[in-house]
Amino acid sequence: MAIAKLLRAKKAKNDEFYTQYKDVKSECDHYMSHFFNKIIYCNCDTADSAFVRYFSELKAQGLIRDIWFSGGLGGADFRSPESIERLKQADLIITNPPFSLFREFIELLFTNNKQFLILGNRSAIVYKYIFPKIKANELWFGVRRWSGGIDFITENGLRGVPAIWFTNIKHGFVPPNLPFKKSVFMPQYDNANAVNIDKSAYFPPDYTGIVGVPITFLEWYNPEKFELLGRDKEFTTDGDICRINGKPVYIRLFVRRIKDLHKCE
């Protein structure tokens, strides 16, 4: 029992990543037209969070109707009946949920048909519940570029995390074109009818076949230019991860070009 308590405490401690105000503002400023006269619920935040500070300022300027946060319910967990009832009443959910509960959190949002802007670890892209949402264009990424991750406030100072913004709110930002390279070696997979590239920038501008790409490709993914076919275990002939000459390859997504991009910017 004592060991179980220690493990729970360690897990809770690992979720204590607090977002800096500058990161909240730099992303949220792009969605201002969606915020007007809306009720914003920060259901993983207390009164001193950067999210609550940002939206309290908007409320003071008359730009939003109200800002609610979990501290207003005595610090209630986002899964509590009180929090869920408030979530149903709010217009937008904007927060930094616990990374260890990200799957459960985002499923709650979709179940209740909520619009949201949230932070999550980049690895969440390939979660079984989340990747199909990206593939169906029901979930996409925020304006901030992925490079460098995000520095969060912890009890030991700033800590960099490969975190990104997830949203289903249209922000109008179009991903840049891939920085194409030439003369790239693209080996065939042993167990998939596709070729492999090790870096997204290696995607050749004149290739129209199926390509296995690293998950970082999604930073440049534009559904008007590329078709997202699936991830490795969905696409391989044996339902396993991709292999080249018998060697396993880290997680790959399979994509195909759907437009002529010969003229690259």
What is the per-residue DSSP string for the chain? -HHHHHHHHHHHHHT--B--HHHHHHHHGGGHHHHTT-EEEETT--TTSHHHHHHHHHHHTTSSSEEEEGGGGTS--TTSHHHHHHHHH-SEEEE---GGGHHHHHHHHHHTT-EEEEEEEGGGGGSTTTHHHHHTTS-EE-SS--TT-EEEEETTEEEEE-EEEEESS---PPPPPP---SS---PBPSSSSSEE-SSGGG--TT--SEEEE-GGGGGT--TTTEEEEEEHHHHSTTSS--EETTEE----EEEEE-S---S--
More confident residue, 84 or 1: 84
Provide the residue ranges of all domains of the chain, joining segments of one domain with +. Answer: 13-167, 195-257
Label residue 206 by pLDDT band (50, 70, 90).
confident
CATH of domain 13-167: 3.40.50
pLDDT for residue 192? 95
Q: In the chain, pLDDT over 90 holds for what percent of residues?
A: 72
Mean pLDDT of 206-221: 91
Label residue 86 by pLDDT band (50, 70, 90).
very high
Label residue 261 by pLDDT band (50, 70, 90).
very low
More confident residue, 30 or 262: 30
Label residue 202 by pLDDT band (50, 70, 90).
confident
pLDDT for residue 182? 66
pLDDT at position 6 over 50? no
Least confident of 66-75, 208-217, 231-240: 66-75
103-118 tens-digit pLDDT? 999 999 999 999 999 9
